[in-house]
Amino acid sequence: MSHLLPVVVATPAHSGLGPSLTYEHPHLLPPGTLVRVPLGKREVLGVVWDGAPAEGGADMATRPITEALDALVPLPAAWRQLVGFAARYYQRSLGEVSLAALPPQLRELNGVQLARRLKRAPAAPATHVPPALPELSPEQQDAMVRLDSARQPVLLFGSTGSGKTEIYLRAVQQLLDADPLAQALVMVPEINLTPQLETRFGERFGAAGVVAMHSGMTPPQRLASWLAAHSGAVRIVLGTRMAVFASLPHLRLIVVDEEHDPSYKSQEGARYSARDLAVYLAKQVNDAHSTEATGPAHCRVLLGSATPSLESWHAAESGRYLRLAMPSRIGGGSLPRLRLVDMNHQPRKTLLAQPLLDAITERIARGEQSLLLLNRRGYAPVLACHDCGWKSECAHCSAHRVFHKIDRTLRCHHCGFTERVPRACPACGNLDIAPLGRGTEQIEEHIIERLAGVLRPDGTPAQVARMDADSTRLKGSLEQHLARMHSGEVDVLVGTQMVAKGHDFRRITLVASVNADAALFASDCRAPERLFALLMQAAGRAGRDASLGATSEMWVQTGYPQHPLFAALRQHDYPKFAAQELSDREAAAMPPFAHQALVRADARSQETAQAFLNEAAALATELPGADQVTVFPAVPMTIQRVANVERAQMLLESPSRIALQRFLAAWQPTLLAVRQGPAGKGLVRWAIDVDPLNL
């Protein structure tokens, strides 16, 4: 007798195939079993799924499963639930999400090859002698006690240098000691930028006790890590966002370090948020183990940040998350004093103000280091008048309209309101209106020129290094830059946001942000939040050495010194900043008080891309949830044309997450039909981005 089984295989996102295909096999394989099945003329990897096979399963066309890879234990239920949820929530096919969540090399192995890999299992880890543990501060002790009894997700709000990493290490240690099988998942935004964390986990638990998971690994390395975690042989996984899909059968702790970091949100394929999925995953594990309604969580989720995302902060304010605060810096180093340079009082077109240059020069002469931060996140340009302060606000909503150079228009990316760029400032008639934050490109060159003549204490010229994505692309060059900075060979480090992350430079006493203004008035409502996080993080780089803490300064060049963001920054007061931002967002009905999705379309012409979106929207007015969802008109994206493809987007907004989800699910078939109809001619691709981070 043979059994019919539902099997999930990698199907394209919009193929129209059902969530699973039906195959037959002599044995009833449990859900989660990996199998190899025929698909067309190919043989592919699949996963036996839960539930009954699809309707009309048993017919002549049903083909047998080629091979069950049953040397491997089935993928756990929590994993299948996570993948199923991610596919539904982010509007992708189950086949795409589930197969993308497995290490690519698994697709190529048959049963014999896989069994061989499994035999190559890591030798039993050598007994590891952990180093002497640092003493916990009273704040850390308190955090550990409260963490222990927490039921809900925990937001660890600890300032830079407050010892959050030690909390992660202790929480993992306690778990491993208490439960001989338990596993922990520790996620970081970008592993290459935080090498210290990997080192500290290795020192504490032994290199054999931790595996890494990130996109920089080779396929065999990824497979080895995945197998070690899936088999339970390794109990700690340290990885980037993709690690949320690791198979951890005994998962009991998830740490999301720097939870506010945008790199937790995928920007391609299923545009998932690993942080949000981590919270969902912990809840699944807990629900499966809920024998009683009270008591500590079975699987804990710990989100750490000095500048939490407003979503997480709001969840803590409303009691859904437990907030643990660690405001003090360990080792006594104080946070640097804020110095604002009012650029309105500097000569026109100044790139680097004289007082700031003097402050850097003094540091070089004293043998101290400086860090200069360039903001190059590429915010959509907003027009401003440099005489009266007018900015291209939208007349219909509390967003700034974006300057589109191609057709010289101002467009609101929120509601779609469009006008031609005015000839002169509408408020004062000044002819000199220009995008905020211009001149970014020249700044770096200019700084290097102006520092050229400055001398070090030994009479040699000052050493300036730049560090950005371009200068660190070569393997090992990031390490080289860091080593030169640590050894004191470099006096001034110039770079983009990546220099603000994680590195522990002890001799930095000056941090300066030279062009932050574009983020203050961006069309994207998250820009101020990111700027604040970046400046706080950068400030944390200065004064790490307690003996130099007193002289540490954070400089910001701005044309808007009265902006409330700087008042909160001066006091290193994130709660104050967050309260203000949240009340602004509530008044404007922006996230987290509204839920958003973007539909993006790429086509040969801008008209085609927009027509596709607008036609699909016109057919959606009667769909379930439509009464609670606002569908705005299609607009060109900020970077409208890439490689001769025109890009457009359409914003959807709802006060109800559930209504938005129902609407999107019901809308998918319409989008598919329009894609295949006349309006889809010339369309290159389309995709839905749920909870988008960039508008």
Closest CA to 34 of 63, 10, 60: 10
Of 201, 226, 264, 417, the residue at the interface with Zn ion (CB under 5 A) is 417
Three-state DSSP at 418 gives strand
CB of 442 to Zn ion, least distance (A): 24
CB of 402 to Zn ion, least distance (A): 10
Instruction: State the number of CA atoms in the 13 A half-sphere of 136 facing the CB.
Output: 17
Of 28, 145, 288, 427, the residue at the interface with Zn ion (CB under 5 A) is 427
> And the tokens for 446?
């200019």
Quick one: 302 or 382, whose CB is closer to Zn ion?
A: 382
Quick one: 514 or 599, whose CB is closer to Zn ion?
A: 599
CB of 695 to Zn ion, least distance (A): 11
Of 430, 580, 628, 668, the residue at the interface with Zn ion (CB under 5 A) is 430
> What amino acid is encoded at 168 in this protein?
Y
Three-state DSSP at 355 gives helix
CB of 401 to Zn ion, least distance (A): 7
| Candidate segments 23-31, 418-426, 543-551, 681-689, binder of Zn ion by CB under 5 A | 418-426
Query: Is 424 a binder of Zn ion (CB under 5 A)?
Result: no
> What amino acid is encoded at 368 in this protein?
E
Quick one: 398 or 628, whose CB is closer to Zn ion?
A: 398
| Candidate segments 101-109, 307-315, 413-421, 683-691, binder of Zn ion by CB under 5 A | 413-421
Three-state DSSP at 99 gives helix
Q: Report how far residue 547's alpha carbon sits from residue 293's, in angstroms, rounded to the nearest whole number.
A: 50
CB of 590 to Zn ion, least distance (A): 12
Query: Is 385 a binder of Zn ion (CB under 5 A)?
Result: yes
Query: Please, are residues 301 and 515 in contact by the beta-carbon 8 Å criterion?
Result: no
| Candidate segments 123-131, 369-377, 396-404, 446-454, binder of Zn ion by CB under 5 A | 396-404
> And the tokens for 592?
């987290």
**SS3 breakdown of the chain: % helix, strand, coil, rounded to 5?**
35, 20, 45
Closest CA to 296 of 153, 177, 185: 153
> And the tokens for 600?
């993006």
Q: Report how far residue 614's alpha carbon sits from residue 634's, in angstroms, rounded to the nearest whole number.
A: 6
Quick one: 358 or 432, whose CB is closer to Zn ion?
A: 432
Of 414, 530, 541, 647, the residue at the interface with Zn ion (CB under 5 A) is 414
| Candidate segments 378-386, 471-479, 607-615, 616-624, binder of Zn ion by CB under 5 A | 378-386
| Candidate segments 422-430, 488-496, 498-506, 624-632, binder of Zn ion by CB under 5 A | 422-430
CB of 406 to Zn ion, least distance (A): 20
Of 116, 146, 396, 641, the residue at the interface with Zn ion (CB under 5 A) is 396
How many chain residues are in contact with Zn ion, going by CB under 5 A? 15
Query: Is 589 a binder of Zn ion (CB under 5 A)?
Result: no
Angstrom CA distances, 141 to 132, 156, 171, 209, 397, stand at: 17, 13, 11, 25, 46
Quick one: 410 or 616, whose CB is closer to Zn ion?
A: 410
Residues 558-577 that bind Zn ion (CB under 5 A): none
Run of H or E including 369: strand 369-373
CB of 411 to Zn ion, least distance (A): 9
Of 351, 394, 485, 611, the residue at the interface with Zn ion (CB under 5 A) is 394
| Candidate segments 36-44, 247-255, 282-290, 419-427, binder of Zn ion by CB under 5 A | 419-427
Quick one: 388 or 550, whose CB is closer to Zn ion?
A: 388
β-strand 251-257 against 183-187: which pairing, if any? parallel
Quick one: 521 or 574, whose CB is closer to Zn ion?
A: 521
Three-state DSSP at 511 gives strand
Of 283, 390, 579, 685, the residue at the interface with Zn ion (CB under 5 A) is 390
Q: Report how far residue 609's alpha carbon sits from residue 591's, in angstroms, rounded to the nearest whole number.
A: 26
For the chain, the straight-line distance linking the first and the last C-alpha, in angstroms and rounded, comes to: 55
Q: Report how far residue 13's alpha carbon sits from residue 347's, in angstroms, rounded to the nearest whole number.
A: 55
Q: Report how far residue 360's alpha carbon sits from residue 464's, in angstroms, rounded to the nearest whole number.
A: 11
Q: Report how far residue 463's alpha carbon sits from residue 116's, in angstroms, rounded to the nearest whole number.
A: 53
Query: Is 402 a binder of Zn ion (CB under 5 A)?
Result: no
Query: Is 425 a binder of Zn ion (CB under 5 A)?
Result: yes
Query: Is 102 a binder of Zn ion (CB under 5 A)?
Result: no
Query: Is 397 a binder of Zn ion (CB under 5 A)?
Result: yes
CB of 378 to Zn ion, least distance (A): 21
Query: Is 632 a binder of Zn ion (CB under 5 A)?
Result: no
Query: What is the phi/psi pair of residue 167, to 5°?
Result: -65, -45
Query: Is 251 a binder of Zn ion (CB under 5 A)?
Result: no
> And the tokens for 174?
């306690």
Q: Report how far residue 431's alpha carbon sits from residue 437's, in angstroms, rounded to the nearest whole number.
A: 18
Q: Maximum distance among all alpha carbons in the chain? A: 88
Query: Is 388 a binder of Zn ion (CB under 5 A)?
Result: yes
Residues of this chain that interact with Zn ion (CB under 5 A) are: 385, 387-388, 390, 394, 396-397, 412, 414-415, 417, 425, 427-428, 430
